[in-house]
């Protein structure tokens, strides 16, 4: 029985300790305290929701200033250091709030620039006390001591390097969004790009261009009189390039990559009297190979004798030659300079 009563009182003591800690955390010991500033920031946020522009923006600005000041005050009362540095964890929190406040926007608070500048701003906040001496009511600027200068330079320099790497990540990510064909390149020799997925064997957009170009070319050649087809092949450069431009405008208009693809034909004669038409989608953007690369789909064009009137079955009917075109199903990639035009 006594043990049970002790357990009950012990439980009450635990609740009382939790209550005292919450009371100490939530109830300001005096009007001039960090809790007051945090409560003012919450109050400003609520009031700005019901206000209209420009009063809403002014109240929201005050709320941000209260939140940043209150957070900085609380986290510097009993600072916890980032392991291996003299930077307080509170400086990271305050730096993040300052970065979001200065470089965020209403649609997206967490923009790339807020993440990039976060480490550098946190380092600068950590260094500020080294330039001030005195108390809260009587302080003045000073030049940091020689031993402090080295710590400041190392900390700020290290955080700037982290910011540079973060910015590099966002730049690379943006490149891959605007130029997805870069994913098909080879990065084995790169010292800073690590591929987590199996690379594409051929760039998807280059394949898309040739797959859409093939039926357009076949429609202009298949079963057409041979004389017209030979005339078309003489003008193939202009015709294929125009068809390729239409495909690029239709499918890649939203990507900057559109300007880095070029569509060209290559026509060669065969011993049988026909032609080989190579359709090339040429990548002119950055590549791990100095010669770049291009994708190729080959089509064979042969003359086929047929009667002038396909419905007639009479013997001795006049025959004319029409074109028959047969294109490869596969697309090959060549990491070399495209062959010269004839």
Q: What is the pLDDT of residues 57-105, one digit of tens each?
A: 888 888 888 888 877 777 666 566 777 776 777 788 888 888 888 887 7
Could you give the angle at the alpha carbon of 87 between the alpha carbons of 34 and 147, nearest 5°?
Answer: 120
Q: Under 8 Å CB-to-CB from 202, ≥6 apart: which residues?
A: 184, 295, 331, 333
This model's pTM is above 0.85: no
Q: Which helix (H) or strand (E) is 161 found in, with range?
A: helix 146-178
Q: Is the pLDDT of residue 14 over 70?
A: no
Measure the CA–CA gap between 51 and 57, rounded to whole angstroms: 9
CA end-to-end distance (rounded Å), the chain: 105
- The confidence band for 315, taking pLDDT boundaries of 50, 70 and 90, is low
Model confidence at 161: pLDDT above 90: yes
pLDDT at 266: 92
User: Beta partners for 282?
Assistant: 262, 294
In this predicted model, which residue has the larger pLDDT, 198 or 73? Answer: 73
- For residue 333, pLDDT over 90 is answered with no
CA distance 38 to 23: 15
The string of pLDDT tens digits covering residues 226-238 is: 889 999 999 989 9
Q: What are the pLDDT digits (tens) for 263-301?
A: 999 999 888 888 999 999 999 888 777 788 899 999 999
What pLDDT was estimated at residue 132?
Answer: 76
DSSP string, 74-135: HHHHSPPBPTTSS-BHHHHHHHHHHHHHHH--SS-SS-HHHHHHHHHHHHHHHHGGGGEEE-
Give me the mean pLDDT over the 2-13 stretch: 49
């Amino acid at each position: 029985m006594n043990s049970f009563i002790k357990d009950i009182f012990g439980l009450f003591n635990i609740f009382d300790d939790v209550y005292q800690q919450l009371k100490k955390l939530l109830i300001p010991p005096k009007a001039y305290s960090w809790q007051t500033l945090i409560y003012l920031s919450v109050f400003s946020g609520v009031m700005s929701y019901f206000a209209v522009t420009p009063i809403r923006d002014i109240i929201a600005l005050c709320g941000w200033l209260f939140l940043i000041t209150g957070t900085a005050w609380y986290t510097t009362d009993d600072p916890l250091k980032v392991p291996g540095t003299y930077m307080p964890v509170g400086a990271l929190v305050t730096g993040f709030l300052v970065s979001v406040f200065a470089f965020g926007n209403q649609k997206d608070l967490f923009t790339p620039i807020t993440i990039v500048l976060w480490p550098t701003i946190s380092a600068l906040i950590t260094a500020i006390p080294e330039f001030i001496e005195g108390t809260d009511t009587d302080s003045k600027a000073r030049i940091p001591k020689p031993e402090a200068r080295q710590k400041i330079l190392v900390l700020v320099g290290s955080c700037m390097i982290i910011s540079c790497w973060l910015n590099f990540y966002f730049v690379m990510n943006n490149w891959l969004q605007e130029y997805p064909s870069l994913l098909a390149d080879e990065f084995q020799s790169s010292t800073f790009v690590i591929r987590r997925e199996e690379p594409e064997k051929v760039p998807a957009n280059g394949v898309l261009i040739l797959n859409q170009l093939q039926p357009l070319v076949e429609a202009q050649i298949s079963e057409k009189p041979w004389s017209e087809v030979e005339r078309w092949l003489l003008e193939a450069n202009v015709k294929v390039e125009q068809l390729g431009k239409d495909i690029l405008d239709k499918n890649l208009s939203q990507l900057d990559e559109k300007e880095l693809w070029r569509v060209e034909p290559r026509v060669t004669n065969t011993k049988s009297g026909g032609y080989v038409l190579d359709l090339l989608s040429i990548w002119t953007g950055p590549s791990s190979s100095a010669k770049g690369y291009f994708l190729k789909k080959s089509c064979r064009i042969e003359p086929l004798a047929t009667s002038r009137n396909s419905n007639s079955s009479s013997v001795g009917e006049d025959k004319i030659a029409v074109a028959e075109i047969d294109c490869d199903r596969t697309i090959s990639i060549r990491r070399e300079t495209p062959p010269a035009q004839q």
